[in-house]
């Protein structure tokens, strides 16, 4: 895996004006944050348990429009020892959802000089389609090695056998699309799954831990080496969650437990001072957490380039 973000003259059509990747080194472990694009979704998804005027106030304070919010979609590539690990796989391409601004992972991996055949492991924070969708694309699948290991919580696999959508607050069409993607994934990769119960070390210094909440098997990935640490929080933390950790996200299958998980995780990160990356925080998403009264504050790192 190359963490070089300089243009490669020999590649045609893969470089963007601003490369959508950002390299971090945690001790002896290389981490690359890659943007899969953005998901434009209704702002109601940010907190469906509060009134529209309350949400509008937060959006106005953030200099954001009141009607739609662009959710970043971030993926990690991690190199530890002789293992190259992909954490989640982006949205893929589902034409029925009209989300053309996401699903960019394949070309961005190529632009970063990462060969899919070099990936030894995939870790899934959970099985929502914007985390497993890339794995469902034929061109993507064909490049993966046959002995690829996919690590996912056993509770997550079990949940998607008969998923409960009674507490979510999603736009029309999303529940069916999520069910379909999870079913396709289970059929395509059942023989490559490495299921764990609560915690599992994927590679030296790379540990995946189940949190539950967002989905029953939702997990976070902590990378620790040389006295440094970074946590990839998946969908446990959204941009609004620092100021309002008690707001319910529309894609949470257990909103009350999600809020408890979010607050506990933010408290842990604020206490440790370690770095945070999350799927839907603005790219490159690398920052730290500070306590701010009864809530929290996200402190983005100064870019090192």
What does the pLDDT look like over 69-126, one tens digit per residue? 899 999 999 999 999 999 999 998 766 666 778 888 988 999 899 999 999 999 999 9
Higher pLDDT, 65 or 197: 197
Sorted by sequence, the CB contacts under 8 Å of residue 256 that are 6+ apart come out as none
On average, the pLDDT of the chain sits at: 92
Q: pTM for this structure?
A: 0.93
CA 210 – CA 153 distance, rounded (Å): 7
Between 3-7, 26-30, 132-136, 292-296, the lowest mean confidence (pLDDT) is in 3-7
Contact between 124 and 132 under an 8 Å Cβ cutoff? The reply is yes
Sheet with 68-80: strands ordered across: 21-26, 29-42, 68-80, 83-87, 121-123, 149-153, 193-196
Beta partners for residue 287, in sequence order? 276, 300
pLDDT at 229 > cutoff 80:
yes
Which pLDDT belongs to residue 94?
65
Give the model's pLDDT for residue 15.
Answer: 61
Q: Say whether 226 sits in a helix, a strand or coil.
A: coil
Closest CA to 4 of 118, 79, 112: 112
Per-residue pLDDT band for 181 (boundaries 50, 70, 90) equals very high
Say which range, 50-64, 94-108, 241-255, has the weakest mean pLDDT.
Answer: 94-108
- Measure the CA–CA gap between 13 and 39, rounded to whole angstroms: 23
The pLDDT value recorded for residue 95 is: 62
pLDDT in the model for residue 6: 38
C-alpha R_g of the chain: 18
CB atoms within 10 A of CB 302: 7
**Between residues 262 and 13, which one has the greater pLDDT?**
262
Sheet with 219-225, edge to edge strand ranges: 199-203, 206-210, 219-225, 228-232, 275-277, 287-292, 295-300
Q: So what's the pLDDT on residue 1?
A: 42
| pLDDT value for 189 | 97
Task: Classify burial at 105, counting beta carbons within 10 Å of its beta carbon; exposed 0-12, middle 13-18, buried 19 or more.
Answer: buried
More confident residue, 146 or 303: 146
13, pLDDT greater than 60: no
Q: Is the pLDDT of residue 225 over 50?
A: yes
- Yes or no: say if 124 and 152 are a contact pair by the CB < 8 Å rule: yes
Contacts of 62 (CB under 8 A, 6+ apart): 239
pLDDT bucket at 41, cuts 50 / 70 / 90: confident
pLDDT of residue 9: 35
| CA distance between the termini of the chain | 18
- What is the per-residue pLDDT for 10? 37
């Amino acid at each position: 895996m190359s963490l070089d973000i300089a243009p490669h003259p020999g590649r045609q059509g893969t470089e963007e004006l601003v490369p959508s990747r950002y390299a971090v080194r945690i001790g002896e472990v290389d981490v690359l944050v890659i943007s899969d694009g953005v998901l434009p979704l209704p702002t109601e998804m940010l907190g469906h348990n509060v009134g529209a005027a309350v949400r509008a106030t937060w959006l106005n304070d953030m200099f954001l429009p009141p009607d739609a919010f662009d959710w970043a979609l971030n993926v990690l590539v991690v190199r530890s020892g002789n293992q190259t690990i992909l954490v989640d796989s982006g949205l893929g391409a589902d034409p029925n959802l009209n989300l053309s601004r996401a699903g960019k992972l394949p070309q961005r991996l190529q632009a970063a000089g990462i060969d899919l055949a070099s990936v030894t492991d995939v870790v899934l924070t959970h099985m929502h389609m914007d985390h497993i969708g890339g794995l469902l694309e034929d061109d993507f699948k064909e490049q993966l090695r046959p002995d690829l290991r996919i690590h996912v919580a056993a509770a997550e696999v079990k949940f998607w056998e008969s998923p409960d959508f009674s507490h979510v607050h999603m736009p029309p069409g999303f529940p069916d699309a999520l069910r379909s993607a999870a079913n396709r994934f289970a059929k395509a990769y059942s023989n490559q799954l490495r299921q764990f119960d609560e915690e599992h070390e994927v590679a030296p210094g790379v540990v995946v831990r189940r949190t539950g909440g967002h989905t029953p098997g939702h997990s976070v990935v902590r990378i620790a080496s040389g006295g440094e640490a970074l946590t990839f929080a998946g969908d446990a933390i959204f941009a609004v969650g620092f100021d309002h950790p008690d707001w319910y996200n529309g894609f949470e299958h257990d909103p009350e437990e999600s809020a408890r998980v979010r607050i506990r995780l933010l408290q842990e990160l604020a206490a440790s001072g370690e770095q945070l990356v999350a799927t839907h925080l603005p790219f490159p998403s690398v920052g730290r957490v500070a306590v701010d009264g009864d809530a929290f504050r996200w402190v983005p790192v100064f870019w090192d380039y």
